[in-house]
Structure formats: C-alpha cells, structure tokens
Amino acid sequence: MLVNLFPVYLCLVVLFECSSVQRGRFFDNQAFHFQTLRAINDVKADGAETGEILETIRHIKEGDTESWRFAWERIGNAVLKKAESYSDPKSKGNALLRAHNYLRTAEFFMDPTDPNRESVSKKSTDAFYKGLNTLGVQYEHIKVPYGKHYLNANYFPGPAGSENKPLIVFVGGFDSVLEELYFVIVHNAYERGYSVLTYEGPGQGEVIRKQNLPFTHEWEKPNKAVMDTFLKNHKKHDKIILVGMSFGGYLGPRAAAFDDRIDGVVAFDVGYDFGAVAENATPGIAIWLQKHEFHRTVEFLSSIKAKFSSTFSWGLKNARWTFHTKDSSETLNAFRKFNLEGVADKIKQDVLILAGTKDHFIPLNQVEKFQKNLKNARSVRTIIYDEEFGGAEHCQLGAATLWQADFFEWIKKFEPNNSNVKKE
C-alpha cells in the first residue's frame, strides 16, 4: 500500500515546491519585489552590490514595511561605516554611492509623516554627493528659481567631444529623487560620450521634502524654468533630448509639447493617462461611487484595500503627500489631470516610446492610445519589452542594459553625421 502511494506523495511534494516558489521573484509582494529590482538595477553603475542586496532581503518579512526599513537602513549604515575605513578613493566612493542607494530604499515605504524620514533621506543624500566628490566625478549642482521656490538640477559634463553630441535632459517620476538618476542614465551616458542634465521638479525629491511643493500637471512650467536657467550659463547643444522616467512618461512628453528647444522626447515608460492608472488600482465600485459623490464610502473602501495591499497603501500615501490631496476622491481627480489627451497632438519632436508587457502600473493599451494621438510628431519609434530578456517590468527594471542599448541606438540619429531624420 505504501509503495503504491509513493508516486502520489512524490507528486504532492513537487506541486508544493512549485507552488510555494515563484521563479524570478524576490518577494510575492509586488511592491517589495519591484523595489528590490530597483536597487539591484544600479549594480552596473556602481550603485549596488548583488551580494549585499541578497543578504538584506533575507531579513525582510513579506509585506512588512518596518522590517523593510530596518533591513535596508542596517545595510546602508554598515556600508557607510565600511566606506570610512577605506583610503582608496575608488573603494570609498563606490561604497558611499551604494550606501546612498540602500538608504534611499530604506526610506521608500516610510510614512510621509514619520519624523525619522527626514534624517534617513539626508543621510542618503549626503552619502551620494560625498561619493561623487570622492570619486572625482565632475558635476555642477544648480538651484533653479521657480517663483518663491527653487528646483534642483545636476549637470554632468561629458568627456571631450560631448559638445558635438545631443544633451540628454532626464527627469524622474512619481517617487524619484534627483540623486538616483545618476545611476539610471548618467554613468552609462558618460561612457558613451554624452553630457547629461538631471533635474527634480515639484512633487519630487528635496522639492517636496524640504519645500512641500506639490506636483503640477503643467510640467512645461518647471521644465522651462530648468532649461532657461541652464542655458543662461551653458552653451546650447545642437540637439536636446528629454527623457521622462516612469511618471515622467507623462511629464517629459507634456513638457516637449510646449518647448521647441527640445528635439526628441522619450517616454520611459509610456505614461499617456494616469487617471486610468489610478482608476485601475482603485476598487472597481469606488470609481462609480466617486463619480456620484459618495466620497466617504470611497474613503472607506480605499482604507480597506490599503490594509491588504502595501502597494496600494504606499501609492495612496505618496499621492496625498505629493499632490496635496486630502482624501481618495481628491487624489483620483488629481491623477486625472495627468493625461496627454489634447496634448499629444502638439508634440512635433521625434518620439521614442518604451513599454513592458508585464508593467504592473501602466496598462499596455496606453501605447496604442499615445501613438494614435502623436499626429504631428516628426517620427515615432515604439519598443515593447517582453519577459524573454527580462525587460517586461515597469521601466525595464532588471534589464537596464537592454533599454539603454535601444535608447543610445535611437539617439545616434541626432548626431551631426546622422542629421537626416526620417519618419519611422
């Protein structure tokens, strides 16, 4: 009898093992998995170490934001201490950059009202600039006047000959900080001979943390302020390419629609309609209730979902903080303003659209909507990444070399010997 049951037992063991492990994932929790990918994405740019990350996530309890913060802050502080023990500038500088990344990751899920958040953020930022200075990386930090406020930008001049290549202007998204953009693009752009201007606007980085200045859907205003300030003191490159990352997939194209100084714009990833993104994340019946002004019920349903979804909980808190909204209904209405309907047809530049088939934020159908409305763009190139090469996630996290190869291939046509741009 036992012999006869053995094959059944063996099958049950195999099924259990297969069902309890999702290959290719760090966590079952999508938010934790994605943010781990975000940290590990910076290994190639000296902003992380695989072993340090794998050891860190071993100490994180699934979905527990406190254990997340503790584990990442612990490794960040440990690497900071290690950096102080090095006399070699390369070792010291790289350790400081890694510490910055781990502390930024530690801060990520912290509540905006947490009194400890500011100190973690400052320690992260300080480590970054100390790291650049130790490594001897050339950069210029620029304060951009913006009404009664200021925006922040970092200019990284490229090597000799970079003046003959397009200037890359790079802006982040819904939860970006200025410093992380160095790992996303600057490090690898320099290797290819490009200069890069990165910036953070309202709702982002230090601008929201220290000045409490919220997002604006009229992104042409902060982008203009940055470009005006930069070009006052720097020679204009023949070509300027604006790249918007994540939420910047809306911000960049929106700015390009109103600025003829921009020659090409990249939606990295596509971000045509963030109202649809927010509605997709909200309990279905809540949308109907919100449109019929049952705001208290919407708030109740949102609070229930937030208890069971760390992704939704984080997104709601971050939106209220960075949009200055007081409840879920206001937040939904704020997101709906970030829509390229009626704006996309004003974009006259060359456009590169990137998207992933497994993007957990932005539905793939936004690619077609964006393409359809780019009626006056000089050219449109769309690249969709699938799972085969690991680029299916939002912003191709985990496959940085993949999207960068395509981006730098596309940008070549803006160089002097490739000036004849044809409709794609």
CA distances from 95 to 75, 77, 80, 100, 102 (A): 11, 11, 7, 9, 11
Residue 14 confidence (pLDDT) above 60: no
The arithmetic mean of pLDDT across residues 277-284, rounded, is 76
Residue 278 confidence (pLDDT) above 50: yes
Q: Who contacts 101 (Cβ-Cβ below 8 Å, separation ≥6)?
A: 39, 42, 47, 48, 180, 183
Residue 11 confidence (pLDDT) above 50: no
> Are 398 and 37 spatial neighbours (Cβ–Cβ below 8 Å)?
yes
Residue 23 confidence (pLDDT) above 70: no
* pLDDT at site 22: 52
Q: Percentage of the chain surpassing pLDDT 90?
A: 72
> Are 343 and 265 spatial neighbours (Cβ–Cβ below 8 Å)?
no
Whether cis (ω within 30° of 0) applies to the bond prior to 269 is yes
* pLDDT at site 418: 65
Nearest to 173 by CA among 219, 111, 131: 219
Q: Who contacts 4 (Cβ-Cβ below 8 Å, separation ≥6)?
A: none
Which residue type is seen at 15? Answer: L
| Band (378; pLDDT cuts 50, 70, 90) | very high
Long-range residue pairs from 111-118, CB within 8 A, at least 24 positions apart, any chain:
111/317, 112/317, 112/318, 112/320, 112/321, 118/209
Q: What six digits make up the tokens of 287? A: 């949308």
CA end-to-end span of the chain: 69
> Are 172 and 249 spatial neighbours (Cβ–Cβ below 8 Å)?
no
Find the range with the poorest average confidence among 34-43, 165-174, 294-303: 294-303
Burial of 50 (0-12, 13-18, 19+ CB in 10 A): exposed
**Segments making up each domain of the chain, as ranges:** 29-126, 138-273+338-416, 277-336
pLDDT digits (tens, 9 = 90+) for 129-162: 999 999 999 999 999 999 999 999 999 999 999 9
* pLDDT at site 408: 96
Q: Percentage of the chain surpassing pLDDT 70?
A: 91
* pLDDT at site 295: 73
pLDDT digits (tens, 9 = 90+) for 47-104: 999 999 999 999 999 989 999 999 999 999 999 999 999 999 999 999 999 999 999 9
pLDDT digits (tens, 9 = 90+) for 175-204: 999 999 999 999 999 999 999 999 999 999
Question: Could you tell me which CATH number the domain at 138-273+338-416 has?
Answer: 3.40.50.1820
pLDDT digits (tens, 9 = 90+) for 249-271: 999 999 999 999 999 999 999 99
Find the range with the poorest average confidence among 188-202, 240-254, 353-367: 353-367
| Band (1; pLDDT cuts 50, 70, 90) | very low
Residue 24 confidence (pLDDT) above 70: no
User: What integer best gives the mean pLDDT of the chain?
Assistant: 89
Note the helical H segments in 136-272.
181, 187-191, 205-211, 220-233, 248-256
* pLDDT at site 209: 95
Distance CA 128, CA 172 (A): 17
Nearest to 154 by CA among 208, 198, 205, 206: 198
Residue scoring higher pLDDT (1 or 71): 71
Question: Could you tell me which CATH number the domain at 29-126 has?
Answer: 1.20.1440.110
Q: What six digits make up the tokens of 92? A: 């010291």
* pLDDT at site 424: 52
| Band (214; pLDDT cuts 50, 70, 90) | very high
> Are 338 and 279 spatial neighbours (Cβ–Cβ below 8 Å)?
no
Strand duo 350-356 + 264-268: pairing: parallel
pLDDT digits (tens, 9 = 90+) for 398-415: 888 999 999 999 999 998
Residue scoring higher pLDDT (209 or 301): 209
